[in-house]
C-alpha cells in the first residue's frame, strides 16, 4: 500500500511540474489562495486492482476545472464535505491535521459502488452500470465515504457485526446531514434518503437506503429488495455483508432520524452534535455494541443539552428496540 506521505509528495511534484509546463489546468482558481483544503482527484483509468490506485493525477488543489465531469464533481463535493466538517464540527480534513484527501474516479468497468480504501487511504468511485451510478455526483455518497476515513480518526469501529453496522451508520449520519445542509432541509422537511441520485432509471426504487423507513428504499425483481431492518426485533444475525453492516445500520439510522425529528430544526444542530461528540468522547470502543453506543449518546445529550435532550435520545433508541 502506498503511504500517504508518498501521495503528499506526488501531489507537490505534480503541482510543480504543472506550474513549469504552464499548461491550462495548472492555472489556479481565483480563490484557491484562500483555501487550505488539499484535494487531489485521480483517474483510475478503469483499473479494478486496488494495487494500481490511485491512477493518473488529473486535478490537484487549486487547479481549474478539467474536461472530465466526474473529476470536477468529486473535487467539488469533497470540498463541500470538508467545509461542512470544518464549519459545524471544527474538524479539519479527515484527521483534523489537514491531510490531503485523495479520490480516484473511473474505478473498474461498470463498477457499481464507491468505497473508502483503508489500505490506500483514499476514496474510490466506480462509473456505475445497470442499476446504480452517479456516485461522485451524490453529495451524500461522498459524505458517507469520507466519513469512513473520519471514523478511523475519531472512534474506529471494527467493520463486522454491530460495531461494523455502527461504522456504516455514522457514515450515513454525516452523509445525510451534509445533504440536508446543501439542500437547506430541516429534519421535518428532508426525505432522509441516502443515494437517491444513484438509482438509475428503470430500477424500482428511490434510493440506496432510507433512514426514516429502513427496508423500503428499493424492491426490484432484478436488483433485489432493500434488506435493511429498522428494529432489534428483526435482528437476525447473518454472515453476509460482514455480519450485516449495511443491513443492521438501519436500526441506529432510524434512531438518529427519530431523535432529529423530535428535536426539530436542522439535524446537525442537536442530534448531529450529540453523535459527533459521541465519536469524539473516547467512550466508544472499536467493538462497541448498539446499546453501548446508545448509552454514550444519551450521556453526551445530557451533558450538552440537558435532561430533556437525554430523554429524547433514549426514547429514540427505545423505539428501535435498542434497550435493556
Ligand atoms: N459503498 C459501500 C460503503 O461505503 C462500500 C462497502 O461496502 N464498503 O459502505
Ligand atoms: Zn460505508
Task: Examine residue 193 and state whether it is found in any structural domain, yes or no.
Answer: yes
> Which protein residue has the closest C-alpha to ligand 1 atom 6?
115
What ipTM was reported for this prediction? 0.95
* Domain residue limits at 109: 4-153
Boundary-marking domain end, from 122, 153, 184: 153
Say whether 128 sits in a helix, a strand or coil: strand
% of the chain exceeding 90 in pLDDT: 89
Say which CATH number the domain at 219 has: 1.10.390.10
pLDDT at 10 over 90: no
Judge if 128 and 227 occupy the same domain.
no
Judge if 91 and 177 occupy the same domain.
no
Residue 23: which pLDDT band, with cuts at 50, 70 and 90? very low
Task: Examine residue 324 and state whether it is found in any structural domain, yes or no.
Answer: no
Q: Which residues are close to ligand 2, an ion, with C-beta < 5 A?
A: 168, 171
> Which protein residue has the closest C-alpha to ligand 1 atom 7?
115
| DSSP per-residue string spanning 94-120 | TTSS---EEEEEEETTT---EEEETTT
Judge if 225 and 281 occupy the same domain.
yes
Give the model's pLDDT for residue 25.
41
State the pTM of this model: 0.92
Q: Between residues 13 and 159, which one has the greater pLDDT?
A: 159
Cα-trace Rg, the chain: 20
Residue 36: which pLDDT band, with cuts at 50, 70 and 90? confident
Residue 29: which pLDDT band, with cuts at 50, 70 and 90? low
Judge if 74 and 39 occupy the same domain.
yes
Give the model's pLDDT for residue 47.
97
Boundary-marking domain end, from 153, 181, 200: 153
Q: Between residues 301 and 33, which one has the greater pLDDT?
A: 301
Judge if 112 and 50 occupy the same domain.
yes
Judge if 119 and 220 occupy the same domain.
no
Judge if 306 and 229 occupy the same domain.
yes
Q: Average of pLDDT values for 33-52?
A: 90
Judge if 144 and 211 occupy the same domain.
no
Q: What does pLDDT average to over the chain? A: 93
Residue 260: which pLDDT band, with cuts at 50, 70 and 90? very high
Which ligand 1 atom is at minimum distance from the Cα of 241? 7
Task: Examine residue 255 and state whether it is found in any structural domain, yes or no.
Answer: yes
Say which CATH number the domain at 62 has: 3.10.170.10
Tell me how long the chain is. 324
Q: Average of pLDDT values for 224-228?
A: 98
> Which protein residue has the closest C-alpha to ligand 1 atom 8?
115
Task: Examine residue 225 and state whether it is found in any structural domain, yes or no.
Answer: yes
Judge if 67 and 138 occupy the same domain.
yes
Boundary-marking domain end, from 153, 178, 195: 153
Q: pLDDT tens across 153-205, in order?
A: 999 999 999 999 999 999 999 999 999 999 999 999 999 999 999 999 999 99
Judge if 211 and 285 occupy the same domain.
yes
Name which of 71, 78, 61 is nearest 26 in CA terms: 61
Domains held by the chain: number? 2
Residue 88: which pLDDT band, with cuts at 50, 70 and 90? very high
CA-CA distances (angstroms) from residue 198 to 98, 126, 180, 272, 320? 29, 11, 17, 24, 27
C-alpha cell at 38: 488539499
Judge if 170 and 143 occupy the same domain.
no
Judge if 144 and 33 occupy the same domain.
yes
Which listed residue (10, 61, 120, 145) is catalytic?
Answer: 145
pLDDT at 13 over 70: no
Taking the C-alpha atoms of residue 150 and residue 161, their distance in angstroms, rounded to an integer, is 20
Amino acid at each position: 500500500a502506498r503511504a500517504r506521505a508518498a501521495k503528499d509528495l506526488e501531489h507537490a511534484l505534480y503541482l510543480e511540474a504543472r506550474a513549469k509546463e504552464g499548461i491550462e489546468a495548472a492555472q489556479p482558481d481565483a480563490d484557491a489562495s484562500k483555501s487550505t483544503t488539499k484535494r487531489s482527484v485521480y483517474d483510475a483509468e478503469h483499473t479494478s486492482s486496488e494495487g494500481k490506485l490511485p491512477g493518473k493525477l488529473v486535478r490537484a488543489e487549486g487547479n481549474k476545472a478539467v474536461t472530465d465531469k466526474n473529476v470536477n464533481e468529486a473535487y467539488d463535493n469533497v470540498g463541500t464535505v470538508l467545509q461542512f466538517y470544518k464549519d459545524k464540527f471544527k474538524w479539519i480534513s479527515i484527521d483534523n491535521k489537514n491531510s490531503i484527501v485523495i479520490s480516484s474516479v473511473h474505478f473498474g468497468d461498470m463498477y457499481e459502488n464507491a468505497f473508502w480504501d483503508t489500505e490506500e487511504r483514499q476514496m474510490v468511485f466506480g462509473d456505475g452500470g445497470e442499476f446504480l451510478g452517479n456516485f461522485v455526483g451524490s453529495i451524500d455518497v461522498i459524505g458517507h465515504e469520507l466519513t469512513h476515513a473520519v471514523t478511523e480518526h475519531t472512534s474506529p469501529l471494527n467493520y463486522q457485526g454491530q460495531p461494523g453496522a455502527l461504522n456504516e451508520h455514522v457514515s450515513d449520519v454525516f452523509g445525510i446531514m451534509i445533504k440536508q445542509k446543501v439542500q437547506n432541509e430541516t429534519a421535518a422537511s428532508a426525505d432522509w434518503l441516502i443515494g437517491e441520485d444513484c438509482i438509475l432509471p428503470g430500477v424500482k426504487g428511490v434510493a440506496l437506503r432510507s433512514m426514516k423507513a429502513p427496508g423500503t428504499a428499493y424492491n426490484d425483481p432484478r436488483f433485489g429488495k432493500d434488506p435493511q431492518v429498522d428494529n432489534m426485533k428483526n435482528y437476525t444475525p447473518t454472515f453476509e455483508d460482514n455480519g450485516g453492516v449495511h443491513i443492521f445500520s438501519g436500526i441506529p439510522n432510524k434512531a438518529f432520524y427519530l431523535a432529529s425529528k423530535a428535536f426539530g430544526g436542522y439535524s446537525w444542530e442537536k442530534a448531529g452534535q450529540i453523535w459527533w461528540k459521541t465519536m469524539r468522547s473516547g467512550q466508544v470502543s472499536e467493538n462497541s455494541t448498539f446499546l453501548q453506543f446508545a448509552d454514550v449518546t444519551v450521556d453526551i445529550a445530557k451533558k450538552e443539552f440537558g435532561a430533556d435532550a437525554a430523554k429524547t435520545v433514549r426514547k429514540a433508541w427505545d423505539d428501535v428496540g435498542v434497550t435493556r
